[in-house]
Each structure stands twice: as structure tokens, then as C-alpha cells.
Amino acid sequence: MNEVSKYTKEQVENAIKGTYGIVNNIAITLSVSRQTIYNYIKEYDLQNLIDDERAKIVDLAENKLVEKIEAGNETMIGLALKTLGKKRGYVEKQEVEANLNINNISDLVDKSTSNS
């Protein structure tokens, strides 16, 4: 862990900013291994900062999606409706949630064969 204490928390935070949380890019910036970056993240409790950086990728993708939708791209319109419009009924398949309590698989098999 000697390599981990080479940089301060503030230095590592500054290296993380603007990287979209890509560990390899952070490692290159600090001239350390990827494992050392993972050690810094754990030692300095920086996972939230990594997560915030990674969230920027989703924001960027959403902005590009909106641009495509505004331009009339039918594929992107369909994608948006299938993902963001689920609650309004825009789905390709019906999703069903089931909460089953099966204690013994043989009971389930016996019941299904007795109904045949």
C-alpha cells in the first residue's frame, strides 16, 4: 500500500474529475496501475465520485438521444418509447412479476403432473 499513499485524496479526486470514471484514464493521469486506483477509491472512499463521473456518460447519451428524436429518427423514437414510455403502455412484451414461495421442487412437479 506504499504506492497508495503517494497521492493525497484531493489529488486523486482531481484526477478522477473529467474522466467519466474510467479507471484506466485515471491510472494514466497519475502514472499508477489500475489496481492502485481501485485501492485509492477504497482507501479514500471515492466510489460516489466515480459514480457521479459515470453518470455523466448517461447524461451525454440522453442528450444525444433527444437530439436524434428531435431530428425525427424513428429508431430512436421507438427506443425512447420502449424504455422511457413503459409506464404509458409502450412495451414490446408484457412483463409479469410473480412472487412464488416454493419450499420443495418435488411438490411443484407432483402438482403439475397431477393436473394433467
* Model pLDDT, residue 10: 97
For the segment 95-100, the average pLDDT, to the nearest whole number, is 74
Contacts of 29 (CB under 8 A, 6+ apart): 15, 19
Cβ–Cβ under 8 Å, residues 27 and 33: yes
More reliable by pLDDT, 108 or 42: 42
Q: Is the pLDDT of residue 24 over 60?
A: yes
Cβ–Cβ under 8 Å, residues 5 and 38: no
This prediction has a pTM of 0.66
Report how far apart, in Å, the C-alpha atoms of 24 and of each of 38, 40, 105 are: 10, 13, 46
Question: For residue 53, which phi and psi values (nearest 5 degrees)?
Answer: -65, -40
* Model pLDDT, residue 97: 78
